[in-house]
Copies of this chain bind each other. A is one copy, B any other.
Amino acid sequence: MRDALVAAAFRLFLERGYEQTTVDDIVALAGVGRRSFFRYFPSKEDVVFPDHERCLADVTAFLDASDPGCDPVQRVCEAVRLVLRMYTENPTFSVQRYRLTKQVPGLRAYELSVVWRYERSFAAYLRGRLKGLHDGTLRADVIAAAVAAAHNNALRSWLRSDGQDDPEEAVEHALGYVQSSFGGRGAPAADQESEDVVVIVSRRGAPMWRVVQEIESTLDGG
């Protein structure tokens, strides 16, 4: 019934346009009553994004079930793959929705609020893991936003390609960029002192002896 309502709604949205389609039109085509529609979807907007509530719950449950010793940035990147899978499970539907969302400002606003809820779910988990660390909530919020932006960048490229490119590869690549920017710094420092990450930044023009000197003094100072 739920799937039939989504299918009927999208057929009408594509034929007549979103604004020109009413809930009455959708239930008439699906052959059910209005009350059945509102049992599944609070509003017409919600039928455009039928899987986000489940996916948001899955993401939160996945993060809640994390091993306390895991790399938190890595873990959030794994959670993002659950979101990607929701899109790639049905490429045709995802591409149709992408086009619809670009045309209807109200749907764009709805989508922004959904993206914001994913980002807050990532941030809540990261805040818990980085609690007590210097700048813990700042780092959590910035990393959550960076992960969401990287995912969106790769996802949108895929949707613009009409679902032709390889979305997994693009998202992995984008998340790799975020991890290289924040990796290690997300992990708690306690009881990992001997495995601390040392980062040396050097100008290409610097002579090797200066670079080695810098490394040695950094390792000594640890």
Contacts and interface: CB of A to CB of B under 8 A. Distances in A.
Looking at chain A's contact residues, is the secondary structure mostly helix, strand, loop, or mixed? helix
A139 to B, nearest CB: 7
Contacts of A216: 208
Contact of A150 (B141, B153, B201): B141
Contacts of A211: 215
Interface string A29-71: 0000000000000000000000000000000000000000000
Nearest to A199: B201
B150 A142 contact: yes
A6 interface: no
Interface in A122-141: 135, 137-139, 141
Given A144-B149, A146-B146, A152-B141, A204 B222 contact: yes
Interface in A106-162: 108-109, 112-113, 116, 135, 137-139, 141-142, 144-146, 148-150, 152-154
Nearest to A211: B215
A181 interface: yes
Contacts of A4: none
Interface string A81-125: 000000000000000000000000000110011001000000000
Given A142-B146, A211-B215, 13 more contacts: A112-B116, A137-B153, A141-B149, A141-B150, A142-B153, A145-B145, A145-B146, A146-B149, A195-B204, A198-B201, A198-B202, A198-B204, A199-B199
Identify the interface centre among A108, A112, A216: most chain B CB within 10 Å of its CB. Answer: A112
Nearest to A181: B181
A28 interface: no
Given A202-B197, A203-B195, A211-B215, A153 B138 contact: yes
